[in-house]
Amino acid sequence: MKGKAVIVGGSIAGISCAHALIAAGWEVVVLEKTTAAPTGCATGAGLGLDTVSFKLIQPWIKQPEVLDRMTLPLTVEYEQATDGSKNSTRTLAKDPNFNFKVVHWSDLHRLLYESLPSEVVLWGHLFLSLSMSEDKSSVKVVAKLLQTNETVEIVCDLLVGADGSLSSVRKHFLPDHKLRYSGYCAWRGVIDYSDNENSETLKAIKKAYLDLGKSCYFDLGSEGHVVLHELINRRINWVWYLNQQEPTFERNSLTTKVSHEMIENMYELAEKVWIPELVKVMRETKEPFLNAIYDSESLGQLYWNNNVVLIGDAAHPITPHGARSTNMSILDSAVLGKCLEKWGPQNLGPALEEYQSIRLPVAKEQVLFSRRLGRIKQRLPVSGHEIFDPTTASEEECKVLQLKNIPYHNGMPSILM
C-alpha cells in the first residue's frame, strides 16, 4: 500500500520533501500558490549550503554535476570591524575551515523542481483549509485554483505544511501563535557583473576584500552588520541588517515594498558607515529589497493528529544568522522521509514522533543560537552580556561571532547514516 501525501508550499522545503517522500515510496502532490514554475533570474538571493545538505540533495537531482557548476565553495569566514569615518576594516576573527557552498536561491530551486516528475507540483493552488475525516485516519485539503477561482478537494493520509514562516497549516493548530520581530530588517541584493567583467566597482571590491571569491565576509559597523560574498558567474550577494522599528506589511508577506526614497536614504546612511568600495556595490545593485527579520519560540511540537506535520520555516521560523534555514529544510525533509520509510504508511504516529524527537530539539537550539548571534552583531542587548563592541572586543570575545559555534555543527542524525 502506498501512502498519499499533500505538501503545502513548493519552495525549498516543499520540493525537497517531495523528493524525500517519493524516495520513501509515497505518492506526493505539492500545492504551491505561486502561479508558475520559477525561472532562473539574476536578481534575488544567494544562500548557503553546508557539506551535509549538499550531500543529501545529490541523489534527488537528475544531474548532480549541474549542482557543482552552480555552487561556489567558500572556505574562509571573516568577521571584521568597519570604521566608516576612517574607511577602514580590521579582522576580528577568521575561520579557515568554513566549508560552505553558496548557490543562488532560484538556481537551487529550479534544479530541485526540474528533477521531480512533472505532475507532482500543482502551481497556482492556494491552500485554504484542512479537516479530519471522522475516524481521523485521513485529511481533507481544500485549495483554490487561482486562475479560475475553482476550489478542489484532495484527501490524503499525510499533510505536510511546508508553507513558510507565516504557515497557514500551522495557524490551523496554533491560531494564537505569533512571530517575534528581531528588531532589525535586512536590505539585500545581488549584483551581476557577468557582462561587465572590467567594471571598476568589481575591481575595487576585490581589492578591498582580497579573498572575496572564496570567502564569506561579515562586517560589523556602527549601524548593524553586512554579509558579503560572491556567487557563481560573477555575481555578488550582499545583505545589510539595520536596526529599526517593525515595518508594516501587505498581507502575508515579510518583504516590504520599497520606495525610491527609502533606497536613497539607505544609500546615504551606507556612505557614513561602510567603506566606499562596498557602498558602490550597493549603489549599483538593481532593485535592492527589504526583508523584515522574524523568528519564533519553539512550537513545542511538530505534528498533530498523527497525520499533519510541519517542516522548514513553517516548523521553526529562524533568523538568518546561523545560515541554516535552507539546510534545516533539507534536513527536515530527509529525516521525515526516512522515518516514514522505516515505519511504513500504516504507522504514521510513531514515524512522526520519531521525526519530531530528532528535529525539534535541534531546531530549538539553532533558532536560539541564531537569535543571539544576530543580537550580538547588531549590538542589541543579550542577557548576561555587555553590548558587543567590535572596536574594543578581545580576540577571545570575537570568537563568539563565528558560525561554527552553532549547536549540532556538522552533526548528521543517525537515521540518515
Ligand X SMILES: *[C@@H]1O[C@H](CO)[C@@H](O)[C@H](O)[C@H]1NC(C)=O
Ligand Y SMILES: Cc1cc2nc3c(=O)[nH]c(=O)nc-3n(C[C@H](O)[C@H](O)[C@H](O)COP(=O)(O)OP(=O)(O)OC[C@H]3O[C@@H](n4cnc5c(N)ncnc54)[C@H](O)[C@@H]3O)c2cc1C
Binding site for ligand X (CB under 6 A): 50, 52-53, 56, 86-87, 148-149, 276, 324, 327, 330-331, 406, 408-412
CB of 8 vs ligand Y, minimal distance in Å: 5
Check residue 79 for interaction with ligand Y (CB under 6 A): no
DSSP 357-387: HHHHHHHHHHHHHHHHHHHHHTT--BTTBPP
Check residue 113 for interaction with ligand Y (CB under 6 A): no
Which position has the grid cell 526583508? 291
CA dihedral 298, 302, 305, 307 (to 10 degrees): 160
**Number of amino acids touching ligand Y (CB under 6 A):** 29
CB of 290 vs ligand Y, minimal distance in Å: 13
Check residue 325 for interaction with ligand Y (CB under 6 A): yes
CB of 412 vs ligand X, minimal distance in Å: 5
Per-residue CA distances from 115 to 58, 129, 187, 307, 327 (Å): 11, 29, 32, 27, 19
CB 199 within 8 A of CB 253: no
Q: Is 55 exposed, middle or buried (0-12, 13-18, 19+ CB in 10 A)?
A: middle
- Sign of the torsion angle spanned by Cα atoms 8, 12, 13, 15: positive
Check residue 339 for interaction with ligand Y (CB under 6 A): no
Residues numbered 296-315 forming contacts with ligand Y, rule: CB under 6 A: 312-314
For residue 33 the three cell numbers come to 500558490
Q: Is 259 helix (H, G, I), strand (E, B) or coil?
A: coil
- Binding site partner of 82, from ligand Y, ligand X, none, Cβ cut-off 5-8 A by kind: none
Kindly tell me which of 86 and 260 has the beta carbon lying closer to ligand X: 86
Kindly tell me which of 8 and 202 has the beta carbon lying closer to ligand Y: 8
Binding test (CB under 6 A) with ligand Y, winner from 22, 23, 42, 45: 45
Kindly tell me which of 307 and 366 has the beta carbon lying closer to ligand X: 366
CA dihedral 247, 382, 166, 164 (to 10 degrees): 120
- Binding site partner of 13, from ligand X, ligand Y, none, Cβ cut-off 5-8 A by kind: ligand Y
Binding test (CB under 6 A) with ligand Y, winner from 3, 26, 29, 46: 46
Strands 289-295 and 180-192: antiparallel
- Among the listed ranges 85-93, 161-169, 191-199, 400-408, the one in contact with ligand Y (CB under 6 A) is 161-169
CB of 6 vs ligand Y, minimal distance in Å: 10
Q: Is 315 helix (H, G, I), strand (E, B) or coil?
A: coil
Check residue 34 for interaction with ligand Y (CB under 6 A): yes
Residues numbered 177-216 forming contacts with ligand Y, rule: CB under 6 A: none
CB of 221 vs ligand X, minimal distance in Å: 13
Binding test (CB under 6 A) with ligand Y, winner from 5, 6, 7, 8: 8
CA dihedral 363, 369, 374, 377 (to 10 degrees): -160
CB 1 within 8 A of CB 157: no
